[in-house]
Structure 1
Amino acid sequence: MGDSARREVAATMADAARLWLEMLTDPQRKIAIGQAPADDASDNERRRWFYTPTDHGGLTFHQQRPAQQRAAMRLVSTGLSRAGYVTVATTIGLENILDHTEGFVTRFDRERGRDPGLYYLRVFGEPGGHGLWGWRFGGHHVSLNNLVADGELVSSTPCFMGADPASSELLGGAVSRPLGRVEDLARELVRSLPASVILSPKAPSDFVTANRTLLSDGDRVIPLSGIWRDERFPDPVEQAKLQAASDRIDAAAGYTDADHEALSYTSRPKGIAGADLREPQRELLHALLGTYFGRVPDAVSPMASYDDAALDAVHIAWAGSTEPGAPHYYRVQGPNLLIEWDNTQRDANHAHSVWRDPSNDFGLDVLAAHRLQHH
């Protein structure tokens, strides 16, 4: 991927962002526009991200007219491949399925707890030009974060996609599994590897790094109740429900300190390296990477850079059972790369997947370099 490709994608993003913003009223713009990206505390809000059904920050679909919503989705599409866009759109639609699964009850101190209208879009700074700007789109099980510097797309991580339910029935015996290949390729690979790839026989309750902005050695799983914009709901009944659900999830995982230590995040990868895999296993690992790198437009995907030498340095590790339908977790890690997956909650029918660059999530390294160059 060259600079010209990143500039072309950034220009398309800028056009779509300007079109959306021009369609908004002044009160809508006050919500839709955030501080320009910067290498200081003024950028903290842009670096906050979530995958729970909480306030992600920005203008929701509910706050927009249909034509504005269409323009919003056009902007979202500029940061995704066709397959990535379909997956995100499907995930949003799954809120209706989840509502049915749970009996159409009110949850999370909202009028509608499972709500396809509560996805948030915000643009940070002024799109286009030679400065810094970015955009974030998120809601339950979606978080897309993009930074453009001097007309070039420089960061697309963290990139989170989830599915609840991970598997659901369709007519004629067909099955909807939006992230099915993201799960199946990893399982197929791990089942062909030595037992040392399995860090723990029990899967964690969630993926380990959660929604942290910065990652540090020793990071452990955060309880569900801690992954929300506000520490507590104003309604004590709803807060008690959330805490009870969080406690049940943690109890089901049954993790001890030793289990947490085995799965804790470390900058040094755990598991088995690509260099130690046979060719068919390397092909599976390469295909698995494609289910993450293929989320963004081909022109800016890092997939082409993962040649044999790069694949050698990529490690994979697993926790939990390798039987389909059982709770499990995996981690793929290498230079400038962290991937995590878990499917443990709701009887292992609730999937999370995230692609991160610990060295440059939110473009933090680029921001630091930009400040030194321009100031």
Structure 2
Amino acid sequence: MKPFESILNRPVTRRNLLAAIPAAAALVGVGACASSSSGGSSGSSASASASGATATATGTAKAGGVAALAQAFHKTLDSDQQSAVLLDYSLDKAKLWSNLPQALLGRGGPGGSTGARVGLSVGDLDDDQLAALNALLKAASGSGSGTGYDGLEQQLNADDYLAANGGGDAYGRANYYVAILGSPQDSGTWELQFGGHHLAVANTYTDGVLAGATPSFRGVEPNGEFQQNGRTNQPMKAKQDALAALLAGLSAAQLASAKLGDTYSDLVLGPGKDWAFPTDRQGVRLSGATAAQKKLALAAIASYVDDISDAEAAKILSRYESELDDTYVAYSGTTALTERNDYVRIDGPSVWVEFSMQNGIVLSGNHPHSVWRDRTTDYGGTKS
């Protein structure tokens, strides 16, 4: 039984911690990735009503598409839930993502300015609502093993594992949030936002077409193989293995060119670092790489792009492949990507991928943070 399906077969209640955030933050302290940050400093609370919102969930949408499934999910909700999940689109709301647990972001009332995620928590949804959310996420995600929807399943299993192994109620899938920003339909711009600890999905659609699937954050603790919800999990394995293989495929001279002089203890373009792409490219340029090395680079990029639906991923990957000659690879620490402060980036005319190994927080051992961004299509290209 798959984790998203299994949650439909057992009652899920809102974590009590979310009703007492200040106490939770005091108790948890550094029980989350301490060097991480919120993606914004203003916006409505995750439970605030969308008073005055003009977004609707009744427009024209192709049957079976992401917009139609977002409308179907919306229909399963009661009026208060509908007001919370369906919000007018704005860049300020789109920026409200983080890799921290919701409990550590804080919550405020309407008009508050805490930077917490907007939308509804998974823990507030009943079985029918969870089934509709499940269908929506499947349609927006890839079908591969270890990426896409399978990766989301394993991601939520990881947080359930943390909740059961020292993390407490600040962790677990009940603390993940879904929001629909704008009117889900085949005209105009809207965003499907889903995320929580170590996860941010931000798919922006314009006139029925995916305009951008970034920023996309993935991380995990524990990083090794673990058992949870009836299956073996290791959600970052595909990404970590592909990036390590890319570095292992470089020659000694290329590695010397790719080596960064600084130590990177976290991501350069993590939450809150929107549109802050470095002006100067660093590392080894792939124009001088062999065909085999370019294939490894494309495979590493694909491990992130494949998180979105297969057809859309193929289009984006084709664009990134056409830009490989002007794409750079850089790293610091060791090439194994297993030690604290091991770091690698792929920086192209469009694509930006970072992977950073962190110290353990809830558990011993290291764990990764990573982000996929796009220089032109982050937030669907919306900069204001």
TM bucket, shorter chain: 0.7 to 0.9
CA distance in 1, matches of 2:61, 2:284: 37
Aligned residues: 297
Instruction: Give the counterpart of 1:351 among 368, 371, 383.
Output: 368
The TM-score, its normalising length taken from structure 2, stands at 0.71
CA distance in 2, matches of 1:187, 1:129: 40
Q: 1:143 deviation in Å?
A: 0.7
Query: Any conservation in 1 of the 2:61–2:68 contact (CA below 8 Å)?
Result: no
Instruction: Give the counterpart of 2:270 among 197, 206, 210.
Output: 210
Residue in structure 1 matched with residue 17 of structure 2 by the alignment: none
CA distance in 1, matches of 2:162, 2:335: 26
CA distance in 2, matches of 1:151, 1:188: 36
1:72 aligns with 2:133: yes
Name which of structure 1's ranges 352-361 and 327-336 shifts more when overlaid on structure 2.
352-361
CA distance in 1, matches of 2:239, 2:199: 15
CA distance in 2, matches of 1:86, 1:304: 23
Query: Any conservation in 2 of the 1:167–1:349 contact (CA below 8 Å)?
Result: no
1:158 aligns with 2:245: no
Q: Give, as a single letter, the amino acid of the residue that structure 2 aligns with 1:52.
A: L
Residue in structure 2 matched with residue 303 of structure 1 by the alignment: 317
Change (3 A) 1:66 1:213: farther
Query: Any conservation in 1 of the 2:358–2:369 contact (CA below 8 Å)?
Result: no
Instruction: Give the counterpart of 1:142 among 166, 180, 199.
Output: 199
Q: Give, as a single letter, the amino acid of the residue that structure 2 aligns with 1:167.
A: G
CA distance in 1, matches of 2:190, 2:227: 41
Q: Secondary structure at the match of 1:49?
A: coil
Query: Any conservation in 2 of the 1:132–1:148 contact (CA below 8 Å)?
Result: yes
Query: Any conservation in 2 of the 1:271–1:317 contact (CA below 8 Å)?
Result: yes
Q: 1:96 deviation in Å?
A: 2.1
Instruction: Give the counterpart of 2:295 among 249, 264, 283.
Output: 283
Q: Give, as a single letter, the amino acid of the residue that structure 1 aligns with 2:353.
A: I
Q: 1:9 deviation in Å?
A: 8.6
Query: Any conservation in 2 of the 1:214–1:358 contact (CA below 8 Å)?
Result: no
Query: Any conservation in 2 of the 1:190–1:197 contact (CA below 8 Å)?
Result: no
Q: Give, as a single letter, the amino acid of the residue that structure 2 aligns with 1:287.
A: A
Instruction: Give the counterpart of 1:267 among 263, 279, 285.
Output: 279
Name which of structure 1's ranges 129-138 and 287-296 shifts more when overlaid on structure 2.
129-138
Name which of structure 1's ranges 280-289 and 321-330 shifts more when overlaid on structure 2.
321-330
Q: 1:272 deviation in Å?
A: 0.7
The answer for unaligned runs of 5 or more in structure 1 is: 1-6, 106-111, 217-264, 369-375
Change (3 A) 1:296 1:8: farther
CA distance in 2, matches of 1:190, 1:66: 44
Write out per-residue CA displacement over residues 332-363 of structure 1, whole angstroms, 9 at most, x where no aligned residue.
01112111111222165312221111222111
Residue in structure 2 matched with residue 56 of structure 1 by the alignment: 117
Aligned identity (percent) is: 25
Residue in structure 1 matched with residue 36 of structure 2 by the alignment: none
Q: 1:76 deviation in Å?
A: 1.6
The answer for unaligned runs of 5 or more in structure 2 is: 1-59, 103-115
Q: 1:278 deviation in Å?
A: 2.0
Residue in structure 1 matched with residue 162 of structure 2 by the alignment: 98
1:20 aligns with 2:32: no
The TM-score, its normalising length taken from structure 1, stands at 0.73
Query: Any conservation in 1 of the 2:178–2:193 contact (CA below 8 Å)?
Result: yes
RMSD over aligned Cα atoms: 2.6
1:86 aligns with 2:143: no
Query: Any conservation in 1 of the 2:66–2:140 contact (CA below 8 Å)?
Result: yes
Alignment of 1:96-135 (within 5 A): 96-102=160-166, 104-105=167-168, 112-135=169-192
Residue in structure 1 matched with residue 334 of structure 2 by the alignment: 321
Change (3 A) 1:8 1:206: farther
